[in-house]
Structure 1
Amino acid sequence: MKRMTFQKTITWCFASLIILFSSCTKNFEKYNTDPYNPIEDNLTNSEVLGILFPTLISTMHFAQENRSQMNDQMVGGQYGGYFTTTNNWSGTNYGTLNPSLDWVETPFKDIMVDFNSNYVKIKRVTQSTGYIYAWANIIRVAAMLRVVDTYGPIPYTQIGELTTDNVPFDDVKTIYYKMFEELNSSITALNNFNTESKNSTTHPMATYDVVYNGDFSKWIKFANSLKMRMAMRISAVDAEFAKTNFLEAVASGAIETNADNAYIPTQDNPYYKASVSWGDLAINATLSAYMNGYADPRRAKYMTTINRGVRMGIANINKTNYSSASYSKPAFTASSPLLVFNASETAFLKAEAALLGWIAGGDTQARTFYESGITLSMSQNAVTIGTYLTSTANPAQYTDPSLSRANISVPNPISVSWTNFGTTTNTKREKIITQKWLANYPYGYEAWSDYRRTGFPQIFPALDNLSSTSFIGSVSNTYGRLVRRLPYPQSQYRSNSTNVMAAVSLLGGDDAASTDLWWAKKN
C-alpha cells in the first residue's frame, strides 16, 4: 500500500486545484462540465465549485471499493458488529485486533485528504459565506465526525486557515463545539437561501447532489439530525449543552420520514463486491444471532438465506472455508445505495432523550419513539412487521458448524418487547440501542460509536485476541470494551510530530486502541 502523508497530500491537492482554476482562460474549458465550454469568468460559483461536491459527499460513506473496505467494512462495520472480514491478509486483521501498521493510516488519510483538499478550495472561493459554503460545512461535519470518533483529536478548526502544512490538532470537545456552531450557521444560511429563492423552480446545485438533488430543505433536516446524533453522543459528559442542542434540532426539524432518508447511490456497491466478487466479507455472528433469535423480518434484506454469520477474530482464517454455501454474506445488490442517516435513527434518538428526561413523557414517550423507530425501519426495508413489537424471544445461540470453539451466546439476553424482561432505565436503553443498531445497518461507524458510548448491543468479542503482539497495544477483549479508537498514523509522527504529540497529550491516555475518547468514558 502506497504511503502518502496527510499534509503533503493536502498541499499537492490544493496546489493542483489552484492551478486548475487559475489557468489561462483558453485552457479552462478542458476542466469544466458545461457543454458550451464557457470561460471561468462566465461561470457562477455553483458551476465552478459544484464539481468538487461528489468527492465531499463520498466521504460520508465510501462507495469506492478500496476505501469502503479499509474504512466502512474493516473498521466501522466490523467493530460495530455488522460484518466479519474473512480474508487472512497474512495474519494481520482488525478482527483479531492486530491490524497492519499501514492500515490505521487509511481512515485518517482517505477521509481527511479526500474532503479537505476540496473543502479548502470552497472555503477560499466563497470567502466562508453563502449557501455553497453552508452546504459544504454540513457535509464536513458528517464526514469529519467519522474521523474524530475514530482517532480522537484531529486537525479541524484551523484547516484552511493556516499557510503551514503542519496544522495543529484540536481536542474532541473543541471539535464537537465547532461542529455544532457550523451546523447552526449552515442551517441559518440555507434557510435564508430557501426564503430568497422560494419562487425558483430549480435547485442550483442539483447536478452535483446525489443525495437530495439540490433540495436544501432536506439538507437542513439532515443537519438537524446530525445535531441530534452528536448531542446524544456527548450526553454523558456534557449533558446541558447536549440537551440544548438536541432540543433545538428537534424544534427546527430533523429527518422524520423515510422519504427524507440520506443515501448515496451506487452502481457497484462495495459491500457486494467485497463479499461476492472477492469473498472477503461475511455477516458478523452477532448480527445473525440477534436477528435469528428475534425472527427479524429484515433478515432477508440484510443477509443471504443461510442466516449464519462468522465470528469476528478467527486467527489464520481461510476465506475458502467461509463461502456462501454455509455462511451469510451481506444481501446487497450491485446497485444498493449506502445509508448515511434514516428516520428510524431520529426516533431512537428521541426515545433515548425521553429516558434522559429531555423530552416530556418519560417511559411512555420513550416507548412510543422506540416502537416508531422499529416500525420506520421495517417500512424502510419493505417488510411486514407482524408481531415483532411484542416478541419476548431472545437472541439465538451462535453455532459454527466447522469451528466449535467459535460457538457463543449473548450473556445477558434482552427481547424486543418494551415491557418484557426488566424495567430498569439501563435495560430500556439497551433495547433502544439494540434496535437502533439493527435499523442503522450497514452504517458501522455509528454502531461502533454507540457501542463505545453505551456498551450496547452485546457484540461478541474477538475469538482470538492478538492485540498484545500488535502496535495498537493490548485491548480488553470483553463485552462492553473491545477497540476504543485507532492509534495515529505513523506518517503524522514523521511529518507533524510536534502537533501529533500534543494531540496524544489531549487524549488523557496512551496513543493506543484501549484509550477512551472524551465522550466514551466507560468502565
Structure 2
Amino acid sequence: MKRFNIIKTVSVAAFTTTLLFASCTGNFDELNTHPTDVYPEDMTPTERVGTLFVAMTRLLNACQENNSQHTEQMVGQYGGYFATTAPWNGTNFGTFNPSADWVDVPYKDMFTEFYPNFQTIKESTGGTGYIYAWASILRVGVMLRVADIYGPIPYSEMGKGEFQVAYDDVKTLYHNMFDDLTRSINVLSAFVQENEGKEVPVAEYDIIYNGDFSKWIKYANSLKLRMAVRIASNTEDTEYAKQMMAEAIDGGVIESNDDNAFFPSMPYNPFWIASDWGDLAINATLSAYMNGYNDPRISKYMNTSTSYREYRGVRMGIKDTSKSVEGSAARYSKPAVTDASPMPVFYAAETYFLKAEAALQGWIAGGTAAAKSYYEQGIQISMNQYGVEIGDYLSSTVVPQGYTDRWNSQNNISFTDVPTVAWENGSNKLQKIITQKWIANYPLGIEAWCDYRRTGYPELFTARDNLSSVGYIGDIDSKRMVRRLPYPTTEKSSNSANVEAAIATMLGGPDTGATDLWWAKKN
C-alpha cells in the first residue's frame, strides 16, 4: 500500500468549512496543518480522497502515541485494562484529578483530526455514493467515542456553515447516528451488488478491509448492534433499540474472527511505546480476574514480570506512582504487544455477548437458552481468536478472590461480588455476560468503560487514592468512578452559548465527572 504523509489534509474547497469548524474547537492552526511530505496538488483525485481515509480510520483507536496515551490509556484505564504509571506532577486520570488541558485532549484530537477530512470528502462527493457512505460509517464510529466520553456533542449541525455549532442531546445524537448507519449500509449494499468482482479504486487506502465493502457493512451493523444494546435499558427508547437490533442482526454482523476489524500500527504500536517509556502497565483488576479464572488467554494479554515471572498488574490511582516502581517490567506485567501489533476496532466475540445480553433481556428472541448459547460462543470465539485451547473454562466454578501486591500491601484489595464462568452456577447472568465480554474485548478500554457505566459490571478495583476533591473534574465516588469528562475549556470559550445550552438542557446534571450520561446506570 502507498504511504502518504499529508502536509494539509484540508483541501482548498474545504477551507471555509474548516475555518468555521475552528471556531467551534478554538484550534484552527492544529486543524489546518499536519506533518507532511506530500501536498494534495501533487496527487491524483483518488489519492487525494483515499489518503484522508487512512487518517480518519486511525481515529477508531488512536494510533499516534501521544493521542493514544491521552485517550486509550489515560481515559481508557477507566475500563479496567490498564494503569498509567508516570507521576505527571500528581495530576492523573487514575487518581481522578487530571488537569483541565488533559480533559480537553480526547475531544480536540478526535474532532480536529476527523472533521476537516470528512468535510473534504463530503464536498468532493456531493454527499452521495459509496465513498461518502464509507466516510459516514467512520464518522459514526469516531463521534460515538467522543459522545461516550463527554455526552451531548455537535453532530447534526456540523458542516452547515455556522461559526458556533449547536449540540445534539444523547438520544437525538444516537438516533441521527443510527440513521447515518442505515443510509450507509443501504448505499454500500447496492454498491457491493452492482460491483461484484470489480476492483475498488480506493482499496489500497482501506487499512482495515482492503476495499471489501461487504465487511464494512458487517462492521456498520455491528456498530449499530452495539449502540442499540447500549441504549435499550433506557425505557423511553427500548422499543426503538429493539428495532435497531433486529435491523443490525438481519443485515449481517461480525460473527467470524476473519471479519474482525484491525488496522496496522504506524509506525509503532502505542501501547508498546508507552510500556517502553515506563508509562503503562496492566491493571491489577485484569490480572486478578485472569489469574483467578486460570484464563488460557492470559499470556496473550500480558507479560509476566521479569523478576518473578508472574502475572501481576498495577492498582489504578496510586498518587505517588513512579516509573521506577509501578512502571517497572521487573515488578509488574506489561501489555503483551510488540512494536508491530495491530490496533483493534471490533471483535466477533463482542457480537455474541451483545446478542447474549439482548436475548437475556428479551430484546431479541430466544430467552435464557439463547443467552447461554451466545455467551458460550462468545467465549469460545475469543479463545479461537488468540489460538488457545479452551479446556474446561466454560464449566469453571472458580471465583477470583482479589489482588495482592508483593511490593506494597497498601495496594491489596479483594473482590466483593464476582461471578463464576459456568453459566448454570449463580443467578446473575447479566454479570456473567458483561464480565466475560469485558475480558474478551481487551484492550478496548473506552468500550469497557461504557459497559461499566451502563451496567455496573464487571466489578473493578477502586482507585487506591481518590484525589478528586482537589481536581478539575469534581468530586468522584470511588466505586462509581468517573462517569464522563467535562467539556473542553476551549469549547466553552469559543462555542460558549451552545455549551451552556447543552449543560442546562441536555446533560442532566452539572458539567462534572460525576454526571451520568443518558444511557448510563443511575444508581
Q: In structure 2, what residue type is equivalent to 1:31?
A: P
Kindly provide the CA deviation profile for residues 420-474 of structure 1, in whole angstroms up to 9, marking residues without a partner as x: 1x22xxx100100011100110011100000000000001111110001112110
In 1: Cα distance, 2:316 partner to 2:67 partner: 21
Tell me, what secondary structure is at the counterpart of 1:483?
coil
Q: In structure 2, what residue type is equivalent to 1:329?
A: K
Kindly provide the CA deviation profile for residues 39-90 of structure 1, in whole angstroms up to 9, marking residues without a partner as x: xxxx4xx4431111111101100111000000001102x1000000010000
Q: In structure 2, what residue type is equivalent to 1:53?
A: F
Q: Which residue pairs with 2:361 in the alignment?
A: 356
Answering whether residue 330 of structure 2 is matched by residue 313 of structure 1, we say no
In 2: Cα distance, 1:410 partner to 1:397 partner: 5
Displacement after TM superposition at 1:326 (Å): 1.5
Given candidates 231, 235, 240, the residue that maps to 1:234 is: 231
Q: Which residue pairs with 2:71 in the alignment?
A: 71
Deviation above 4 Å: which 4+ runs of structure 1? 8-17
1:6 and 1:113 in contact (8 A); partners too? no
Q: Which residue pairs with 1:211 in the alignment?
A: 208
Displacement after TM superposition at 1:15 (Å): 6.4
Q: Which residue pairs with 1:26 in the alignment?
A: none
Q: Which residue pairs with 2:445 in the alignment?
A: 444
Answering whether residue 40 of structure 2 is matched by residue 31 of structure 1, we say yes
Q: 1:280 to 1:10 in 2, by over 3 A?
A: closer
Q: How many residues align?
A: 491
Tell me, what secondary structure is at the counterpart of 2:421?
coil
1:166-177 alignment to 2 at 5 Å?
166-177=164-175
Q: Which residue pairs with 1:196 in the alignment?
A: 194
Q: Which residue pairs with 2:17 in the alignment?
A: none
Tell me, what secondary structure is at the counterpart of 1:59?
helix
1:149-168 alignment to 2 at 5 Å?
149-161=148-160, 163-168=161-166
In 2: Cα distance, 1:296 partner to 1:226 partner: 27
Pairwise CA RMSD = 1.8
Tell me, what secondary structure is at the counterpart of 2:316?
coil
In 2: Cα distance, 1:363 partner to 1:251 partner: 21
Q: In structure 1, what residue type is equivalent to 2:245?
A: F
1:5 and 1:492 in contact (8 A); partners too? no
2:25 and 2:491 in contact (8 A); partners too? no
Displacement after TM superposition at 1:361 (Å): 2.2
Kindly provide the CA deviation profile for residues 344-375 of structure 1, in whole angstroms up to 9, marking residues without a partner as x: 00000000011011232211110100000000
Tell me, what secondary structure is at the counterpart of 2:344?
strand
1:17-416 alignment to 2 at 5 Å?
30-31=39-40, 43=45, 46-76=46-76, 78-161=77-160, 163-200=161-198, 202-237=199-234, 238-266=237-265, 267-276=267-276, 278-305=277-304, 306-322=310-326, 323-416=328-421
More deviation, 396-405/445-454? 396-405
Displacement after TM superposition at 1:8 (Å): 5.5
In 2: Cα distance, 1:514 partner to 1:101 partner: 15
1:11 and 1:165 in contact (8 A); partners too? no
2:26 and 2:494 in contact (8 A); partners too? no
Q: Which residue pairs with 1:495 in the alignment?
A: 494
Normalized against structure 2, the TM-score is what? Answer: 0.91
Question: Unaligned 5+ residue runs, structure 1?
Answer: 21-28
Q: Which residue pairs with 2:457 in the alignment?
A: 456
Q: 1:412 to 1:320 in 2, by over 3 A?
A: same
2:26 and 2:491 in contact (8 A); partners too? no
Kindly provide the CA deviation profile for residues 264-320 of structure 1, in whole angstroms up to 9, marking residues without a partner as x: 2114100011012x0000000100110000000011010112200110011121220
Q: In structure 2, what residue type is equivalent to 1:210?
A: I
Displacement after TM superposition at 1:521 (Å): 3.7
2:398 and 2:420 in contact (8 A); partners too? yes
1:293 and 1:394 in contact (8 A); partners too? yes
In 2: Cα distance, 1:48 partner to 1:317 partner: 45
Q: 1:15 to 1:390 in 2, by over 3 A?
A: closer
In 2: Cα distance, 1:153 partner to 1:513 partner: 14
Normalized against structure 1, the TM-score is what? Answer: 0.91
Q: Which residue pairs with 2:7 in the alignment?
A: none
Displacement after TM superposition at 1:30 (Å): 4.8
Percent of paired sites with the same residue: 55
In 1: Cα distance, 2:274 partner to 2:339 partner: 11
Answering whether residue 475 of structure 2 is matched by residue 474 of structure 1, we say yes
Question: Unaligned 5+ residue runs, structure 2?
Answer: 1-20, 305-309
Q: In structure 2, what residue type is equivalent to 1:349?
A: L
Q: 1:114 to 1:14 in 2, by over 3 A?
A: closer
